[in-house]
Amino acid sequence: MRVVMANDHGAVELAERLAGYLEGRGISVDWLGTKTADSVDYPDMAKLACSKYLEGGYDFGILCCGTGIGISISANKIHGIRCALPQNCYAAEKTKEHNHANFIAFGGRIDYPEDPVRILQAYIDAAPSTEGRHVNRIAKMMALEET
């Protein structure tokens, strides 16, 4: 498995934790984000990671900023990206199963009710549904990019 990840200055510590977890699972991480507190703009980091993902060879991507909101909104402006900002393990599992999210976002300054590593684990361990209403809804969701 191979993952692309980027973050801004508001989520350096969280990005380090997530990268460490992934590497501990034997997952290859291309970490494009900053590793310092020097200010970088989250739209730039989203564009960088999403562009890399769209080149191919990645299973999914991870984006992190102070809240996860700005970077996920930025990512969702890019054609072909479905970035989710789950608040817990249940939401992370369902976004993979029902929405086939290809990116997951986190906030480095958010007090999560569950450990973000567990939320990421729930996302990774979930399987996308391959038939039925969810597949139809994904097609409708992606068609919105054309309107």
Would you please indicate which residues are annotated as catalytic (active-site) residues? 65, 98
Question: Quick one: tokens of 123?
Answer: 């996302």
Which CATH architecture is the domain 2-146 placed in? 3-Layer(aba) Sandwich (3.40)
Quick: pLDDT tens for 26-66.
999 999 989 999 999 999 999 999 999 999 999 999 999 99
Q: How far apart are CA 1 and CA 25, in angstroms?
A: 10
State the burial class of residue 132 (Cβ atoms within 10 Å of its Cβ: 0-12, 13-18, 19+): exposed
Report the predicted TM-score, pTM, of the whole model to 2 decimal places.
0.95
Q: How far apart are CA 17 and CA 124, in angstroms?
A: 16
Quick: pLDDT tens for 119-141.
999 999 999 988 888 888 988 98
Q: Is the pLDDT of residue 113 over 90?
A: yes
